[in-house]
């Protein structure tokens, strides 16, 4: 048993123990604790929890590698995911918090006065969250498998057991404070290696301002090797794919149920806005670092690995070749490894960085703990979203409205266990790369929830039949395009499966508007309720006028 294994195992075990301890200490005792953490989370800590919920295995493990492989075209992921939070913070989050429900399907059902709409939204929540969670559990398998030297399938199962335990026990209250700890672990693990790489390569410990000079050197290297320049746009896809992917990720972010529910855990609309502001700051630390990771890793591969004798490669390459995620075959038989002969998976760039930069065994173990925190934090939030859809929106609101609080908590906990196990089994043989699987989840959210929420908050004429038709058409178009593009080779303007959300969102919005206008308009009460959402909590809208309200909670914000 080598030292690296011991250090990695100790760090992962220590952080696992911390997460379980937090979950036990914050065990949910009421349904409000289980679903919305009692609505008492301070904005700064909620911002950290949102950051951890958001910065999934795809962000932590895959994004820097995606940018390294795709170059300029990979920036669509960074711009789309970051821009989506601006959409959510300004267009939807405060208004949804004012409405005061537990889940997104519950908002849709009550806003549109339709049990059918709520059930469709609950099913959509389960589909989207399952798709997303497969990517997270697959990521945890990659991390545990590499660092603990076990099969990736065993690593995935370890993640499943841990997530099922602390999510089912603590509910949203436990997960919130667990995610605060996970954010601190993952951001520390992410920043230390890139800061040291910046110091090694540029002499400046600020990678966000120093990696530009490495980009300039990469341009020269690209020209010398006669390959496509790293900073030239639209070399890996059309500009329409770039724009479609960026829109899909932005709209998907604003429509993801497990992200939106985080804004339900604070006390007021103002706190919801501040949660979004803090979240952008915490998320920005990682997202601004990813392009630096990409540039530094590509530079080291081009200067220290490419051009080396095939029998004299850096020692770190051997362990990654064994995983099958790195290929360094000497295809032309000249005994020297050419840049074109290196095939590297998107998913190992960040994980391999401590070894590439020779940062020592402690940093390698810390990186493993950070990657696990990223995968587990998002997976925990996803499981709560699935559980809420099953136990609250389907079981309590549709099947057994007289269920006791104890019974609802029991159903919620077992829903998490069942969902985690099923998602884990699918993750044993994932249908694509982590980043690709996650992009599908965003496409589904942008084709279903984003139009329903956008029109639900900002267009009072939208009604039940409109939202039902819109969600069904949006989901169908998105799923159809994903399958047609991935398995049938069908594309429009070069837009592949990861940009499918642009078609789903357009179809859903158009369908919602047409059907709403062709059917009976909502009641006056329902329309005034929609207008009321746009005013601060001290103001209410009724009888065509804005009224000051003495209480913090307006009439429609309690349930």
Tell me the per-residue pLDDT of 361-416, one tens digit each, with 9 for 90 and over.
788 778 878 877 777 777 777 777 787 787 777 877 778 878 787 787 788 788 87
Q: Residue 330 CB: number of other CB atoms within 10 A?
A: 14
| 3 state SS of 333 | coil
Dist CA 472 CA 374 (whole Å)? 32
The token pair that represents 429 in the structure block:
């043989």
What pTM value is reported for the model?
A: 0.80
For residue 174, what pLDDT is reported? Answer: 72
Q: What's the mean pLDDT in 496-510? A: 93
For residue 507, what pLDDT is reported? Answer: 96
DSSP H helices, 324-399, are: 349-356, 361-387
Angle 349-356/316-323 helices, nearest 10 degrees?
160
For residue 148, what pLDDT is reported? Answer: 64
Q: What's the mean pLDDT in 531-543? A: 69
Residue 463 has pLDDT above 80, yes or no: yes
Provide the β-strand partners of residue 343. Answer: 327
Report pLDDT digits (tens) over 285-326.
888 888 888 888 888 888 877 777 877 777 777 777 766 667
Residue 467 has pLDDT above 80, yes or no: yes
* 497 against 360, higher pLDDT: 497
Dist CA 6 CA 502 (whole Å)? 47
Dist CA 9 CA 12 (whole Å)? 5
| 3 state SS of 112 | coil
Split at pLDDT 50, 70, 90, the class of 554 is: very low
Report yes or no: 287 and 62 within 8 Å, Cβ to Cβ: no
């Amino acid at each position: 048993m080598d030292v690296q294994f011991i250090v990695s195992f100790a760090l992962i075990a220590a952080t696992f123990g911390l997460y379980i301890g937090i979950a036990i200490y914050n065990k949910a005792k009421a349904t409000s604790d289980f679903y919305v953490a009692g609505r008492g989370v301070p904005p700064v800590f909620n911002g950290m929890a949102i950051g951890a919920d958001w910065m999934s295995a795809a962000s932590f493990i895959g994004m820097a590698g995606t940018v390294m492989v795709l170059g300029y075209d990979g920036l669509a992921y960074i711009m789309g995911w970051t821009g989506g939070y601006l959409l959510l913070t300004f267009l939807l989050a405060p208004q949804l918090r004012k409405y005061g429900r537990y889940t997104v399907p519950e908002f849709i059902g009550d806003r549109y006065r339709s049990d059918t709409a709520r059930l469709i939204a609950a099913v959509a929540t389960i589909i989207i969250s399952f798709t997303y969670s497969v990517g997270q559990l697959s990521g945890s398998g990659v991390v545990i498998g590499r660092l603990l030297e076990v099969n990736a399938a065993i690593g995935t199962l370890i993640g499943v057991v841990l997530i099922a335990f602390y999510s089912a026990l603590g509910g949203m209250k436990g997960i919130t404070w667990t995610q605060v700890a996970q954010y601190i672990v993952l951001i520390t693990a992410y920043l230390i290696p890139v800061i040291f790489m910046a110091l090694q390569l540029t002499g400046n410990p600020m990678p966000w301002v120093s990696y530009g000079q490495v980009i300039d050197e990469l341009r020269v290297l690209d020209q010398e090797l006669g390959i496509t320049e790293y900073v030239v746009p639209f070399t890996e896809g059309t500009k329409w794919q770039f724009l479609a992917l960026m829109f899909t990720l932005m709209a998907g972010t604003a429509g993801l149920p497990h992200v939106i529910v985080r804004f339900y855990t604070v006390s007021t609309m103002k706190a919801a806005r501040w949660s979004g502001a803090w979240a952008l700051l915490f998320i920005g630390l990682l997202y601004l670092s990813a392009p630096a990771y990409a540039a530094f890793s590509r530079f080291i591969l081009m200067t220290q690995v490419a051009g080396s004798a095939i029998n004299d490669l850096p020692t770190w390459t051997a362990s990654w070749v064994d995983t099958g995620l790195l290929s360094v075959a000497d295809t032309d038989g000249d005994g020297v490894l050419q840049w074109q002969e290196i095939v590297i998976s998107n998913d190992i760039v960040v994980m391999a960085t401590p070894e590439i930069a020779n940062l020592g065994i402690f940093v390698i173990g810390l990186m493993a703990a950070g990657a696990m925190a990223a995968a587990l934090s998002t997976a925990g939030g996803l499981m709560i979203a699935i559980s809420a859809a099953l136990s609250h929106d389907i079981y309590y609101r549709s099947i057994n409205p007289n269920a006791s609080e104890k019974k609802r908590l029991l159903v919620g906990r077992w829903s998490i266990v069942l969902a985690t196990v099923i998602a884990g089994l699918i993750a044993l043989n994932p249908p694509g790369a982590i980043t690709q699987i996650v992009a599908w989840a965003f496409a589904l959210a942008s084709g279903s929830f984003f139009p329903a929420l956008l029109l639900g908050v900002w267009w009072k004429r939208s009604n039940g039949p409109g939202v039902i038709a819109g969600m069904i058409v949006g989901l169908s178009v998105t799923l159809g395009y994903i399958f047609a593009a991935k398995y049938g080779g069908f594309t429009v303007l070069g837009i592949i499966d990861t940009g499918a959300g642009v078609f789903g969102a357009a179809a859903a919005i158009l369908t919602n508007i047409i059907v709403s206008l062709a059917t009976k308009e909502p009641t006056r009460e329902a329309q005034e309720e929609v207008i009321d959402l746009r005013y601060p909590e001290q103001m209410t809208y009724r009888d065509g006028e804005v009224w000051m309200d003495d209480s913090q909670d307006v009439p429609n914000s309690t349930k």
